[in-house]
Amino acid sequence: MNFARDRLPTPIGILLLVFDEQDRLRALDWEDFEPRMRRLLRLQYGREVELRESGAPGAIRDSLNSYFAGDFSALDSVEVETGGTPFQRKLWAALRDIPSGQTSSYGALAAKIGLPKAVRAVGVANGANPISIVLPCHRVIGSDQRLTGYGGGLHRKRWLLTHEGAAFRG
């Protein structure tokens, strides 16, 4: 499997953008977590993924730059494509329904996808999200409103939620 990769500087680090020939975003992660991103891609697609350097499509770059400039709806138009299991894809799609400036809990997401007892599985699938920010896993926090883990580091999760004006504890 072959995809292209580009880098995008942001206020909280350099993003790696992985996209396909149809200009769909396949992965988005932080440069300092590239080994994890590659591992997740390998798990999703069942084989090693080749990444060639290429300039990201303007629509993806412009949307992300607009998001970081404060236009949170700019990410709504970014076309994504994921591998993963049907459960993971269902959960990742549900992440997109969490509005900017709001948060959800693992339990609420499990209920939303019709599997209220699958809270732990939701947490695992959320942690394997290949397209952070656009599929906003950072908006998932603990039921007590506290920040929980984030693959890009809690300092980035805190920044993203503060940037969006979301309420949380800690």
**Which of 39, 21, 40, 17 has its CA nearest to residue 29?**
17
Q: Which amino acid is at 6?
A: D
Q: Which of 40, 134, 137, 161 is catalytic?
A: 137
Note if 93 is an active site residue: no
One-character DSSP codes across 157-168:
HHHHHHHHT---
**Which of 78, 68, 66, 93 has its CA nearest to residue 23?**
78
C-alpha span between 161 and 147 (Å, rounded): 10
Q: Angle, to 10 degrees, between the axis of helix 119-127 and the axis of helix 86-95?
A: 80
C-alpha span between 73 and 76 (Å, rounded): 5
C-alpha span between 45 and 41 (Å, rounded): 6
- Please tell me whether residue 45 adopts helix, strand or coil conformation: helix
* Cβ pair 10, 69 in contact under 8 A: no
Give the catalytic positions in this structure: 137
